[in-house]
A and B are shown apart, each in its own frame.
Chain A
């Protein structure tokens, strides 16, 4: 057992876990943040994507101990109170989900993509960049539309700040 100290959605936490605990298990089972999903458990599907120090990583492919000292943001941490994050709003408006299982990972990866490209995105880039996130409903068309829509909204909201 080790104590892992990290910041999750802005809140400092210290959790005692077995050394073999994965970051996703710590988030879901110790902190009850079940918005982060486990899909494939083989690092391919991206349902478990969270941000670690601002970068989108697969939380099923990290030991909790590797995240010691890190700043983690999960899907639960991106809205401002009742106001959805522009990416969440764009997924809702564009019907960018069917069953919803992949959605938290899609949204966390998509926010990272918009940050990296500074909003300069086109459809081909979004499709290439989303290849680490799998939608079993194959609802990619509206997911891509949502990301492109959100890229515009995030640019506007950044400019307003």
Chain B
């Protein structure tokens, strides 16, 4: 790791002010992505500003039909949370198959979506559930937030404070886990909103990061069942290909994972 200066912020305002005083600062949430990248010397921030002890970034709130998870809430706390398990159990499940127990104690939802790894799990949940990302400056819909590989709508020095999920009628997530990294080789989140809209998002599949899957959304409209997806054909163009799976393999995984996710959603 290159030299860096470590700061611990005690509030969002203090973190923003520290950022403004640094030349090339990075915010540090759980550190489960940023630190490995810094250790590989692929990132060399002049300063790291630790958000981990900011109380206003911790916790889960359920208010009517909106579940709000504050950005610094760890995966462990999310998967244990009674409100999450009650109103969107698919999020609790997604979190339980993400990383490993030690990673889940440290990693946070805000860190995951700010990084927007093309194989991360949370972006699929946000996109399929039509979530809203709250920052210290504004609210951004998930549709606008994710903008391609490791790219988001966040501006320099902008901090995610929370994610709000409308409670869906039904939701499910399934993924083919990479056995070493536990990232999604391909994962699909399916959701039916309370107003009947169907939204399906796939992660780990596209060269442009998390994406909606309109063909599967159309197939599920009026027939919410795994078999409704039998006849859908997913194009392999613009899908990721690597030593773990070809684009054609991932195209098929989108379909199979979507079917399993619908079955899980019930």
Give the residues in chain A near B106, CB-CB below 8 Å: 57-58, 61-62
Give the residues in chain A near B182, CB-CB below 8 Å: 131
Q: Say whether A18 contacts B100, CB under 8 Å.
A: no
CA distance A55 to B36 in the complex (A): 20
Asked if A34 is at the interface of the complex by the 8 Å CB criterion, the answer is: no
Which range contains the number of B residues in contact with the other chain?
A: 20 to 34
Q: Say whether B50 contacts A55, CB under 8 Å.
A: no
Q: Closest residue to A129 on the B side, CB-wise?
A: B101
Per-position contact with B for A127-158: 1 when CB-CB < 8 Å, else 0? 00101110000000000000000000000000
Q: Closest residue to A41 on the B side, CB-wise?
A: B39
Which of B39, B50, B102, B180 meets A56, CB within 8 Å? B102
Q: Say whether A2 contacts B6, CB under 8 Å.
A: yes
A interface vs B, CB < 8 Å? 2, 18-20, 22, 41-44, 46, 49, 55-58, 61-63, 65-66, 68, 109, 112-113, 129, 131-133
Give the residues in chain B near A61, CB-CB below 8 Å: 31-32, 35-36, 103, 106
Q: Say whether A62 contacts B100, CB under 8 Å.
A: no
B54 to chain A, nearest CB (A): 13
Q: Say whether B6 contacts A19, CB under 8 Å.
A: yes
A100 to chain B, nearest CB (A): 20
Task: Name 6 interchain pairs, CB-CB below 8 A, sorted by A.
Answer: A22-B39, A61-B106, A65-B50, A66-B28, A109-B101, A132-B103
B180 to chain A, nearest CB (A): 6
CA distance A23 to B192 in the complex (A): 44
Asked if B150 is at the interface of the complex by the 8 Å CB criterion, the answer is: no
* Majority DSSP secondary structure for residues of B touching A: mixed
Which of B48, B50, B102, B181 meets A46, CB within 8 Å? B102
A109-B102 contact in complex given A61-B35, A61-B36, C-beta closer than 8 Å: yes
A158 to chain B, nearest CB (A): 21
Which of B3, B52, B101, B180 meets A19, CB within 8 Å? B3
Give the residues in chain A near B39, CB-CB below 8 Å: 22, 41-42
Q: Closest residue to A43 on the B side, CB-wise?
A: B36
Give the residues in chain B near A113, CB-CB below 8 Å: 101
CA distance A56 to B101 in the complex (A): 8
CA distance A65 to B4 in the complex (A): 12
CA distance A65 to B3 in the complex (A): 14
Give the residues in chain A near B42, CB-CB below 8 Å: none
Which of B5, B35, B180 meets A62, CB within 8 Å? B35
Q: Say whether A56 contacts B105, CB under 8 Å.
A: yes
Q: Say whether B8 contacts A132, CB under 8 Å.
A: no
Q: Closest residue to B3 on the A side, CB-wise?
A: A20
CA distance A135 to B3 in the complex (A): 32
Give the residues in chain B near A129, CB-CB below 8 Å: 101
Asked if B1 is at the interface of the complex by the 8 Å CB criterion, the answer is: yes
- Which interface residue of B1, B6, B106 has the most chain A CB atoms within 10 A? B6
CA distance A19 to B3 in the complex (A): 7
A43-B103 contact in complex given A19-B4, A65-B8, C-beta closer than 8 Å: yes
Asked if B99 is at the interface of the complex by the 8 Å CB criterion, the answer is: yes
CA distance A30 to B180 in the complex (A): 31
Q: Say whether B36 contacts A42, CB under 8 Å.
A: yes
Q: Closest residue to B76 on the A side, CB-wise?
A: A55
CA distance A131 to B8 in the complex (A): 31
A46-B1 contact in complex given A61-B106, A65-B8, C-beta closer than 8 Å: no
A36 to chain B, nearest CB (A): 13
B35 to chain A, nearest CB (A): 5
